[in-house]
Amino acid sequence: MSEPFPPTSRTRVVREANRAVYDREAIYQILDEAFVCHVGFTSGGQPFVIPTMFARVGDAIFFHGSAASRMLRNLSAGVRVCVTVTLVDALVLARSIFHHSMNYRSVMVLGTATLIEDRGEKLEALRVISDNLIHGRWDEVRQPTEQELKATAVMKVPIKEASAKIRTGPPKDDTEDYDLPIWAGVLPLITRAQQPVIDPAMRMKADLPASVKKYGRG
């Protein structure tokens, strides 16, 4: 087992503490399986939560957005953030509506995002974000222009304060409800790619690229 993240007063799981996970490797596995995170921050006393693509490299999370966006303007000023990721593995269907739940894996990372200024580091961060979404696509397409790079901000959040929460297994009903003639169990869910749909605006004939042919999650 890898070195755990020491739980802090802010990351310690209180509700359903038995589901808490602080192991670094387990937390990184959850982050690596996801490609969308939610970034929470406050601006002018108002909380905001923004979904965005991301990737983990080593002990840091990278995400990007428009350089003109409220989120990136505030984060560039050193506003502290809460980055969360959730993977839903199954619906947990109990005998009572009260005990319905989900099997899930979630991660919360607290920290301060910094703006990546170096051009080479910025390009590399964009590449790994792209690869986390669909591996190999970066090398199949046109690279960003200087104007596009200028319009895009890339942020880095060191992973120093983090925790995970995981639920697995069947439903947990009240003892007296186990005698009810009601179906109960787990309905597994997966993310699966469907048949690719070509852009109707395609002007030139092109074969389906390897990144799309080989696409898969997990």
pLDDT in tens, the chain (218 residues): 578 898 889 989 888 888 889 999 999 999 999 999 999 998 888 899 999 999 999 999 999 988 888 777 777 677 789 999 999 999 999 999 999 999 999 999 999 999 999 999 999 999 999 999 999 999 999 999 999 999 999 999 999 999 999 999 999 999 999 999 999 999 999 988 999 999 999 998 999 999 999 998 76
Q: Is position 12 within any domain?
A: no
What pLDDT is stored for residue 44 in this prediction? 81
Q: Is position 26 within any domain?
A: yes
Q: Is position 218 within any domain?
A: no
Q: Is position 123 within any domain?
A: yes
Q: Is position 216 within any domain?
A: no
Instruction: Give the pairing of strands 161-167 and 185-188.
Output: unpaired
CB-based contact 24:4 (threshold 8 Å): yes
Q: Is position 181 within any domain?
A: no
Spatial distance between the Cα atoms of 27 and 24, rounded to a whole number of angstroms: 5
**CATH code, domain carrying 39:** 2.30.110.10
What pLDDT is stored for residue 17 in this prediction? 84
Q: Is position 148 within any domain?
A: yes
Q: Is position 81 within any domain?
A: yes
Residues of the domain holding 44: 17-86+104-168
| Number of domains within the chain | 1
What pLDDT is stored for residue 218 in this prediction? 60
pTM: 0.91
